[in-house]
Amino acid sequence: MRAQFERMAAEWRQSRRLRLGTLVVMVVLGLHFVLGLADGREAKMDAYRRDADLLARLQEAGKESAWPERAAEAEAALAAVEKTLPEVASAGLAQAELQAWLAGQAASAGLAEARVRAESTLDVPGHPDLWQVVARLDAQIPQGRAPQLLRALSAGLPWMQVERMDISQGRQTQVSLVVRAYYRKPAAGEGDPA
């Protein structure tokens, strides 16, 4: 080991090219390091400027006196929208309501051989007072009746949403829909939550 070190030291002393090459590599690495620090500094300065600008805007918005009024208006609007959410007495009634609604929409759109199947009712995560039901509608669409079906389905928005619609053409045009509907549970003591 010592012999190798002595041989390397001798080569270092004798070879000017080795010393110059090492110096160039050290200069390049040093420049790379300095430029990297400068880029990092610029990025941090930009982030600081953005944060300071955001803070100034938030402080300015906080000075407005209309926020409590806006909050009350937003709560009233939310309550009004939530009142449009259909209420059902039980999970089974939620399934029956969705099945009846889909069957009615299929009939009003003139669909033939409509079959509606509802899955089990589930709680809505984060909203203990809501249920969700997923149902599937399979039917044949007579020619030119697809627009009526789309209009009929849009009548249920926002609480009844078509998640998937497949229309296949063959001898008969087939439609397959997956619909998710939301229902409000009864207030405590009003119904059977089963």
d(CA 184, CA 127): 10
Q: How confident is the model at residue 170 (pLDDT cuts 50, 70, 90)?
A: confident
6-60 pLDDT tens trace: 888 888 889 888 889 999 999 999 999 988 888 888 889 999 999 999 999 988 8
166, 176 contact by CB (below 8 A) = yes
At 164 the pLDDT is 95
Whether the predicted model's global pTM rises above the 0.85 cut: no
Specify the pLDDT at position 98. 95
| pLDDT value of residue 105 | 92
Query: Would you state the structure tokens that stand for residue 46, as one six-digit string?
Result: 């930009």
Residue given tokens 């001898």 in the structure block: 171
Neighbours of 1 (CB within 10 A): 5
